[in-house]
């Protein structure tokens, strides 16, 4: 979340203070000035339409708007501005000085003579000011109106005018410049503070607070940021833990939707949280039947019961997921929790499903983003007897048996890459075939698969239109002999190969390395040590200056000001490098990809997100190139043009750049190893700290 600062003492940063962070709705009312003899001749909506982008727009005609003040500055964190709204929309007035509430309190009607003012914006919020902020001309920056000009432009009307918040849903709130809800009072219902934030205050003592407010239904998307300045009078008040309605002023900053309350009475979270309260059992089969091809929500007051048939200890699935089967021969479902869970294979659990999202992810039906508090452990050491069947029967009943435990006998295994379980392996019996999928992060991913086995047990889990099965641990495969040990290249099973690094806590994916000491004639002098020493499982903040390979949060879904807590909580990860002056790091750092061979493959193309993550002002710039080499230990590398070029990461720059690379015929049909690297071969430029550089969403495709 990009910070919106409200630092009263630093008036020189007037533009940085333009977005409000809170409002106050109680005040000592000034005397009523009566009804002024002035009439508005344009609505707030229509005058806002004059600004579309770029430099502020000067108002040169005799325009007058009227509206009611919906936000003032009495709370101490809504600084040098007030919000004004009429029936068509809202807008900010940028006014110099403090204690504006003495003249323009919440609920007072105002008439504003716009001639001589400028209409601009700050990251999506339209505002009127007294002049153009030349430092931010192209971004629509306006300056505050001087106090001696207030009476020339602002005519005070009656006090205590009604302000009724508009009841809306989050889906109605857009990040469009002309959204009619911006700078107006709105109300959201059936909302609550996210579990991660319930133990926190509205803001921290040293910095403004960004807290997540979410709905019971589809909380992963039905959410908004509650923004509070650390100058607010209620900044150190603890957030409420219940559920209910919240009223506030809507805005957005960049692409982030924000809500600002006026005081804590706007937050009426007095009801029970999502997933609390009495429930009755619903069969998993009936729950599955509710899904008709589009995302829906489970009914209120219901729960499901079942036994965990997946094994988190084996790491063969995301640590937020479980597969839950109601009983022997009964239906099952994948449950994705809002955070990593602690349920083990054989645990019997109840899950409150009230209002939870029922949706598909890559063809797999799941209860999505279920709060951990909705699940209750009933007992341990239970077991589901797998359905003994054939691969032909599985193919015929796959949807009905999805997310349940099956067992097949007298099978063989073939295909795959490099002879191990990681990726996709073909299982065959006398009636058909089925894809066995194993995550690259599984404990047994690099274990060689047998050529044949007496029996195989696993749970059915599709991937789009592909029917496949996954297993829990190596005891699920009984009997058989194994082929020679595999090599460690990328698993180029089917095009495209993709890697999003979301499982980085389990270690580097097969065939991917982070190197130091890379030169024009060497892949590197060694593997880059992981920072911190506790290993890949420990996330690292973008501004951490220690050298090493790092498990960073991806820039996707976050902003330059997202704090370490938000970064650590993000499930979208990226593979990172922090260079220092240590030998081999600057220059010499590289992301390296090993291809065992490219036999039968041609026309390779690569894409990835290239990310510069440390937005701390002032520092060095690193330049990166993409190269390839051939052979077990190549001594020459060839540079390949990237789009865009050059690739640079900088301290002070926060960016995520899509990069494409076309290798043409260079990698076609090679029986030798192929190495692709994203490497920094020239010394960084500038002074002070070196950047945090990362890659994400790597894709390699071929014919």
Which pLDDT tens digit goes with each residue over 586-637?
A: 999 999 999 999 988 999 999 999 999 999 998 999 999 999 999 988 999 9
Q: Angle 337-342-348 (CA atoms, 0-180°, nearest 5)? A: 90
Q: What are 321's strand-pairing partners?
A: 336
**The architecture CATH gives domain 11-156:** Beta Barrel (2.40)
**CB count in 10 Å sphere of residue 676:** 24
The DSSP-derived string for 406-469 is EEEEEEEEE-SSTTBSSEEEEEEETTEEEEEEE-TTSTTTTSBPPSEEEEEEEEE--BTTB-EE
Token pair for 320? 């937020």
- pLDDT of 482 over the 60 cut: no
For the chain, the farthest-separated pair of C-alpha atoms sits apart, in whole angstroms, at 95
Name the CATH superfamily, with its identifier, for domain 497-701: Galactose-binding domain-like (2.60.120.260)
Computed over every residue of the chain, the mean pLDDT equals 90
Q: What does the buried/exposed string (b/e) look like for 598-609 if buried means 16 or more CB atoms within 10 Å of the residue's CB?
A: beebeebbbbbb
For residues 44 and 177, give the distance between their C-alpha atoms in angstroms, rounded to a whole number.
13
pLDDT value of position 206: 85
Angle, vertex CA 503, rays to CA 291 and CA 437, nearest 5: 60
Which residues belong to CATH 2.40.50.550 in the chain? 280-379
Outline which parts of the chain fall under CATH 2.40.50.200.
Answer: 387-478
Enumerate the β-bridge partners of residue 122: 125
Nearest to 633 by CA among 530, 515, 482, 495: 515
Q: Enter the tokens of residue 136.
A: 């931010």
Q: Give the separation between CA 641 and CA 627, rounded to whole angstroms.
A: 9
| Helix/strand/coil percentages in the chain, nearest 5 | 10, 40, 50
Question: What is d(CA 233, CA 211) in angstroms, rounded to the nearest whole number?
Answer: 17
Handedness of CA 185, 175, 252, 564 (dihedral sign): positive
What 8-state DSSP symbol labels residue 145? B
Confidence of residue 479 (pLDDT cuts 50, 70, 90): confident
Could you tell me the fold of the domain covering 387-478? OB fold (Dihydrolipoamide Acetyltransferase, E2P) (2.40.50)
Q: How confident is the model at residue 525 (pLDDT cuts 50, 70, 90)?
A: confident
pLDDT at residue 702 greater than cutoff 50: yes
pLDDT tens profile 244-272:
999 999 999 988 999 999 889 999 998 88
Name the pLDDT band for 2 (thresholds 50, 70, 90): very low
Does residue 28 have a pLDDT over 60?
A: no
Alpha helix (H) ranges present in 150-283?
A: 150-153
Distance between alpha carbon 308 and the CA centroid of its chain, in Å?
28
pLDDT attached to residue 417: 73
Q: Mark 117-141 as b/e (b = at least 16 C-beta within 10 Å).
A: bbbbbbbbbbbbbbbbbeebeebbb
The CATH fold assigned to 280-379 is OB fold (Dihydrolipoamide Acetyltransferase, E2P) (2.40.50)
Write out the residue limits of the CATH 2.60.120.260 domain(s) in the chain. Answer: 497-701
């Amino acid at each position: 979340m990009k910070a919106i600062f409200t630092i009263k003492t630093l008036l020189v940063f007037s533009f940085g203070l333009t977005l409000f962070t809170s409002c106050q709705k109680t005040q000592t009312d000034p005397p009523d000035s009566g009804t002024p003899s002035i009439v508005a001749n344009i609505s707030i909506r229509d005058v806002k339409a004059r600004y579309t982008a770029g430099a502020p727009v000067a108002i040169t005609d005799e325009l007058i708007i009227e509206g009611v003040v919906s936000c003032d500055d009495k709370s101490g964190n809504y600084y040098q501005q007030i919000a004004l709204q009429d029936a068509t929309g809202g807008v900010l007035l940028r006014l110099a000085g403090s204690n504006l509430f003495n003249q323009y309190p919440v609920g007072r009607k105002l008439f504003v003579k716009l001639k001589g003012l400028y209409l601009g914006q700050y990251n999506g919020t339209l505002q009127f000011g007294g002049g153009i902020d030349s430092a931010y001309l192209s971004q629509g920056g306006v300056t505050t109106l001087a106090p001696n000009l207030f009476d020339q432009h602002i005519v005070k009307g009656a006090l205590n005018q009604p302000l009724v918040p508009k009841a809306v849903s989050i889906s109605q709130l857009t990040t469009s410049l002309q959204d009619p809800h911006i700078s107006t009072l709105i109300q959201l219902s059936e909302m609550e503070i996210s579990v991660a934030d319930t133990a926190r205050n509205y803001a921290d003592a040293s910095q403004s607070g960004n807290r997540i407010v979410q709905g019971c239904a589809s909380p992963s998307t039905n959410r908004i940021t509650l923004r509070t300045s650390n100058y607010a009078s209620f900044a150190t008040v603890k957030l409420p833990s219940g559920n209910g309605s919240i009223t506030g002023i809507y805005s957005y900053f960049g692409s982030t939707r924000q809500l600002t309350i006026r005081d804590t009475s706007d937050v009426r979270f007095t009801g029970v949280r999502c997933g609390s309260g009495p429930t009755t059992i619903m069969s998993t089969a009936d729950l599955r039947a509710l899904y008709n091809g589009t995302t829906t929500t489970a009914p209120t007051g219901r729960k499901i019961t079942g036994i965990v048939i997946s094994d988190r200890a084996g790491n063969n699935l995301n640590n937020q997921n479980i597969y839950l089967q109601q009983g022997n021969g009964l239906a099952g479902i994948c449950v994705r929790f809002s955070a990593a869970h602690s349920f083990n294979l054989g645990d019997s659990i109840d899950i409150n499903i009230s209002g939870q999202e029922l949706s598909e992810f890559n063809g797999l039906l799941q209860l999505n983003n279920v709060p951990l508090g909705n699940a209750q452990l009933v007992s341990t050491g239970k077991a589901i007897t797998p359905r003994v069947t054939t691969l032909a029967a599985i193919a015929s009943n796959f949807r009905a048996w999805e997310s349940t435990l099956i067992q097949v006998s007298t099978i063989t295994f073939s295909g795959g890459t490099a002879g191990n379980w990681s990726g996709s392996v073909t299982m065959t019996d006398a009636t058909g075939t089925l894809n066995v999928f194993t995550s690259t992060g599984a404990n047994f991913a690099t274990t060689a698969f047998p050529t044949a086995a007496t029996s195989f047990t696993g749970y059915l889990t599709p991937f789009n239109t592909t029917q496949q099965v996954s297993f829990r641990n190596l005891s699920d495969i009984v009997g058989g002999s194994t082929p020679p040990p595999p090599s460690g290249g990328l698993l180029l099973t089917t095009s495209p190969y993709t890697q999003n690094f979301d499982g980085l806590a389990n270690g580097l994916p097969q065939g991917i390395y982070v190197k130091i000491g890379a030169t024009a004639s060497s892949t590197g002098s060694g593997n880059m040590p992981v920072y911190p020493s506790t290993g890949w499982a420990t996330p690292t903040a973008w501004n951490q200056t220690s050298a090493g390979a790092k498990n960073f949060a991806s820039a996707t879904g976050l902003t330059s000001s997202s704090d370490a807590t938000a970064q650590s909580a993000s499930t979208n990860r990226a593979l990172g490098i922090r260079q220092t002056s240590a030998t081999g790091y600057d220059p010499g750092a590289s992301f390296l990809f090993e291809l065992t061979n490219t036999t039968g493959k041609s026309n390779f193309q690569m894409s990835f997100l290239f990310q510069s993550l440390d937005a701390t002002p002032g520092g060095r710039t690193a330049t990166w190139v993409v190269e390839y080499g051939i052979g077990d230990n190549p001594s020459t590398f060839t540079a390949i043009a990237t789009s865009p070029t050059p690739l640079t990461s900088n301290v002070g720059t926060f960016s995520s750049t899509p990069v494409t690379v076309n290798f043409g015929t260079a990698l076609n049909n090679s029986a030798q190893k192929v190495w692709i690297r994203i490497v920094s071969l020239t010394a960084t430029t500038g002074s002070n700290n070196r950047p945090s550089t990362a890659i994400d969403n790597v894709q390699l495709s071929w014919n």
